[in-house]
Amino acid sequence: MKRNSTTSKIITVGVLLIIALAPLLATSEYMVHIGTLILLWAFVSTAWAYMARFGLVSLGHGVFLGIGAYIPVMLFNYYGVSPWLGMLAGVGAAVLVAAILGYSCFRFGLIGDYFALVTLAMAEVVSLAIVACREVTGGSLGCTLKASVGWASFQFDDKRYFYYIIFVFLLLALYIWRLIDKSRMRLALTAIEESELAASSMGVSIIRFKMGITLLSAGLTAMGGVLYAQYITYINPGTISGVGVSLSTCFKAILGGMFNIFGPLAGSAIMVSLEEYFRISFDTGFLGVSEIIFGVVLLVMIIFLPKGIVGSVSEWLNKRFGVARS
Amino acid sequence: MLEELLMAFINGILLGGVLALLAFGLNLIFGVVKIIHMAYGQFVMLGFYFIYYFHTAWHMPLLVAMAGGIVVMGLLGMLVQLLIINPLLNAPRLNQLLALASLIIVLENLAQVLWGADYRGIPISMPIIQFGDIFIRSSYLLAFLGAIATLGILYLFLHKTYFGLAIRSVAQDVEIAKGMGINPKVIYYITLAAGGALTGVVAAFFIPIYTVHPHFGASFTLMAFVIVVFGGMGNLMGGFISAFIIGVVTSITAVLTSTEVADILALVLFILMMMVRPQGILGAKA
């Protein structure tokens, strides 16, 4: 990652400043809401890209989103457990599940698209399990978080609270990305991606490093699930677990460019805005038309911009101006 | 209870025949084009809708409508090859997967726009056959026999015709096939057309059994995946056998518990198989 450090620092600070100041300039609650969604999905897909950029493409992050969203809500609704404890329980459970699933995948040497398909199936298992436990979870009808406003119950009337809380989490995720970049872990995982055999013969513990990045990614993703549930206050297995959300998480990262630290953020901004734009401009009269266009846009982008938007743009800049960029 | 289980077993076998046909198409595409057709079940859903549409809106006789549906699905298969698979032939596997996954979004919503979210079906009453305490729906039996016959025709096509030989040679080794004067692109089109037509055939057999809605296909994509992996990816015989195993296991589990648990069981089998025996039940250790 050789970067022209001053330009990249200016861009970084500029982007973060814009995000930080945006709610002050926003003219409506609705715009803050869209901004919050963008930051939330940016947080989740950044966490997803931790793994994906080292070749561990998971199509099953809905597992962790679902666990993170459902456990705190269930605990709060049924037992009145504080969401702050529920958060720990949700993230803890997701990390535990990630440890079990990850270890079994890595132990049996699942890589590449086999890993992708197995994780996809895991996402569907969790989603079906939530539906199957319908007495507790409300099944496919979903369930609503009991309303109770305030810091103690981690729900707020003003949307800007969540905007900034999620922004802080996104900053954390970006910061961890930088830490990973500077760490031995990055070297080890890159070596493992190149050749597991060569890496292990150099004494790199494959399972340990893969587990490390998986647990980190799963924990943050589950936190994204917690934040989603607290913010939206309604969860449903179709929207927060299962194949749909797993795929849309990686769509976002891939569209933006999963090898670039700002790729997932850019991808989320584009995807969420596109979704909203199409949803509004086609109204209910053409239910589905917006999704068709959305799917076609996705297809076209996957075919013509395989490196993602940030990746393609920086490549173009590189060619055009000869700037040393990642 | 025992009769119920026996009936579930028989239904599992009968449905297994149709699932075998579905898995065969997915397997063929994977074996030849080396691509995982994520939207395969959605193709069945579209095929169902086309047959329904031809029959109700254009008043075609049912059999003609079915033939029409099969042809349209074959053409759609070629269209997918032309517009999506061809540009991505040398792309990373992941991009191919995701492109076909976004096709799911397009197809499901297309069906919703064209035909609405309601359940649609062609009401056909077919007799129920009774053996003692056992009842068998003749629609299941017909689908099973039809699927087996179709598989037989496919077998003959693959083993007795020039195109079948060419398809098998491309599946084995593209470079050598090229050396023998086979254009793999043409073979890919034929394979996708055959795979698409197969979804039309499956849809035709499903007409008397199910009603269709835009998300009808998802569970069949999943089922076909499970079967293909269970039998070993690219292994047609393995897929055939595992279709019956999976059909019976899910059918009996669904009777004993619920359909969700049956699906979970199938998926868990899939995950375990991928981990422990990725070559499938029949495959040799790689």
In chain B the domains, ranked by start, together with CATH numbers, are 2-89+101-115+134-276 (1.10.3470)
The CA distances from residue B230 to A118, B237, B251, B268, B280, in Å, are: 13, 11, 17, 11, 5
Of A114, A291, A303, the CB nearest to B274: A114
Rounded-to-integer distance, Cα A206 and Cα B132, Å: 60
- The answer to the question of residue A315 being in a domain is no
* DSSP-assigned letter for residue B286: -
Inter-chain CB proximity B98 and A250 less than 8 Å: yes
Q: Which two tokens stand for residue A309?
A: 């938007």
pLDDT above 50: residue A39: yes
Please indicate, yes or no, if residue A132 is contained in any of the structural domains.
yes
Return the residue matching tokens 């936190």: A223
- Helix (H) / strand (E) element for A144: namely strand A143-144
Would you say residue A139 lies in a domain?
Answer: yes
Distance from CA of B220 to the nearest CA of A (A): 13
pLDDT of residue B286: 46
Average pLDDT of the residues in B34-60? 92
Chain A residues with beta carbon closer than 8 angstroms to that of B35: none
Q: How many CB atoms lie within 10 A of CB A256?
A: 26
- What pLDDT does A25 receive? 82
Cα–Cα nearest to A270, from A252, A289, A292: A252
Tell me the longest C-alpha to C-alpha distance in chain B.
Answer: 60
For chain B, percent of residues with pLDDT exceeding 90? 44
**CA dist B275 → A313, B262, B266 (Å):** 39, 20, 14
Boundaries of domain holding A73:
5-242
For B102, the closest of A104, A125, A299 (CB atoms) is: A299
Tell me the C-alpha distance between A10 and A12, whole Å: 5
Burial pattern A214-225, b for ≥16 Cβ within 10 A else e, equals: bbbbbbbbbbbb
A128 chain-B contacts, CB cut-off 8 A = 260, 263-264, 267
How far is residue A264 from each of residues A38, A252, A282, B153, measured CA to CA in Å?
A: 10, 6, 27, 48
Find the mean pLDDT for residues B125-149: 85
Is the CB of residue B26 less than 8 Å from the CB of residue B37?
yes
Judge whether A295 is closer than 8 Å to chain B, CB to CB. Answer: yes
Catalogue the long-range contacts made by B61-68 (C-beta closer than 8 Å, 24 or more residues apart).
B62/B122, B62/B124, B62/B207, B66/B200, B66/B204, B66/B207
Q: Do B109 and A113 touch (CB under 8 A)?
A: no
- In A, minimum Cα distance to B273 occurs at A118
Q: How many CB atoms lie within 10 A of CB A75?
A: 18
Q: Is A206 on the interface with B (CB under 8 A)?
A: no
Q: Please tell me the predicted confidence (pLDDT) of residue A127.
A: 92
Q: What is the pLDDT of residue B229?
A: 86
In this structure, are residues A49 and A254 in contact, taking their beta carbons and an 8 Å threshold? no
* Lookup: tokens for A178: 């930088």
> Contact at 8 Å (CB) between B33 and B99?
no
Cα torsion angle, B243, B224, B54, B156, sign: negative
Report yes or no on A141 lying in a domain: yes
CA–CA separation, A268 vs A70, rounded Å?
23
- N residues, chain B: 286
Residues of B in contact with A121 (CB under 8 A): 225, 267, 270-271, 274
- The HSE-up count of residue A228 (CA atoms within 13 Å, CB side) is 31
| pLDDT range class, residue A178, cuts 50, 70, 90 | very high
Report the percentage of chain B scoring pLDDT > 70: 99
Best mutation target among B83, B109, B112, B229 (most A Cβ atoms within 10 Å) is B109
Task: State how far the alpha carbon of A282 is from the alpha carbons of A274, A286, B106, in Å.
Answer: 12, 6, 15
Q: Most B CBs within 10 Å: which of A101, A303, A312, as the mutation test of the B interface?
A: A303
Q: Give φ, ψ of A284 to 5 degrees.
A: -85, -15
Q: What are phi and psi of B128, to 5 degrees?
A: -105, 130
CB B265 within 8 A of CB B250: yes
For residues B101-127, give the mean pLDDT. Answer: 87
Confidence grade of residue A247 (pLDDT, cut at 50, 70, 90): confident
Closest-CA residue to B95 (of A116, A123, A263, A214): A116
pLDDT at residue B119 tops 50: yes
Nearest-Cα distance to chain A for B276, in Å, is: 7
The residue among A215 and A276 whose pLDDT is bigger is: A215
Residue B151 CA to residue B198 CA, distance in Å, equals: 10
For B221, the closest chain A residue by CA position comes to A121
Domain assignment present for residue A21? The answer is yes
B contacts of A302 (beta carbons < 8 Å): 88, 95, 98-99, 102
d(CA B20, CA A168): 51
Region B245-270 average pLDDT = 90
- Nearest CA among B222, B274, B232 for reference residue A125: B222
Place of tokens 């050598």: B176
A279 falls within a domain? no
Asked if the structure places residue A312 within a domain, the reply is no
Encoded tokens for B41: 């079940």
Question: If you average pLDDT over residues B212-233, what whole number do you get?
Answer: 86
Structural domain count, chain A: 1
Q: Residue A319 pLDDT more than 60?
A: yes
A113/B93 Cβ within 8 A: yes
Q: How confident is the model at residue A284 (pLDDT cuts 50, 70, 90)?
A: low
Predicted pLDDT at A325:
46
C-alpha span between A113 and A57 (Å, rounded): 8
The contact set of B with A (CB < 8 A) is 36, 84, 87-88, 91-95, 97-99, 101-106, 108-110, 112-113, 117, 214, 218, 222, 225, 229, 258, 260-261, 263-264, 267-268, 270-271, 274-276, 278
User: Which residues are CB-contacts of A239 (< 8 A; sequence separation ≥ 6)?
Assistant: A142, A245
- In chain A, which residues have their Cβ closer than 8 Å to the Cβ of B84? 299, 303
Say if the Cβ atoms of A117 and B229 lie within 8 Å: yes
For A169-237, the DSSP string reads HHHHHHHHHHHHHHSHHHHHHHHHHH-HHHHHHTT--HHHHHHHHHHHHHHHHHHHHHHHHHHH-EE-H
Highest mean pLDDT among A266-280, B130-144, B186-200, B257-271: B186-200
C-alpha A313/C-alpha B151 separation (Å) is: 49
Lowest-confidence segment of A200-204, A290-294, B22-26 by average pLDDT:
A290-294
Residue B130 DSSP code: E
Per the CB < 8 Å rule, is A292 touching B110? yes
DSSP B186-232: HHHHHHHHHHHHHHHHHHHHHTTT--B-TTTTHHHHHHHHHHHHHH-
Q: pLDDT tens digits, residue range A16-38? A: 888 888 888 888 888 999 999 99
Shortest Cα–Cα distance, A298 to chain B (Å): 7
Test A288 with B109 for CB contact under 8 angstroms: yes
Residue A296 included in any domain? no
Q: Say yes or no for a CB contact (<8 Å) between A299 and B99.
A: yes
Among the residue ranges A130-144, A284-298, B175-189, the one predicted with the least confidence is A284-298
ipTM value of the model?
A: 0.84
- H helix runs in A26-61, sequence order: 29-52
**CA A120 to CA A60: how far, in whole Å?**
5
**pLDDT classification of A1: cutoffs 50, 70, 90:** very low
Q: What gap in Å lies between CA A196 and CA A56, rounded to an integer?
A: 13
pLDDT at position A318 over 80: no
Single-letter amino acid, residue B231: G
Write down the mean pLDDT value for chain B.
89
CA–CA min distance B30, chain A (Å): 13
What are B120's strand-pairing partners?
Answer: B212
Mean pLDDT, range A307-312, rounded to an integer: 80
Q: For tokens 């994906």, what's the residue? A: A52
For position B284, what pLDDT does the model report? 59
Mutation pick from B97, B223, B246 vs chain A, by most beta carbons of A within 10 Å, is B97
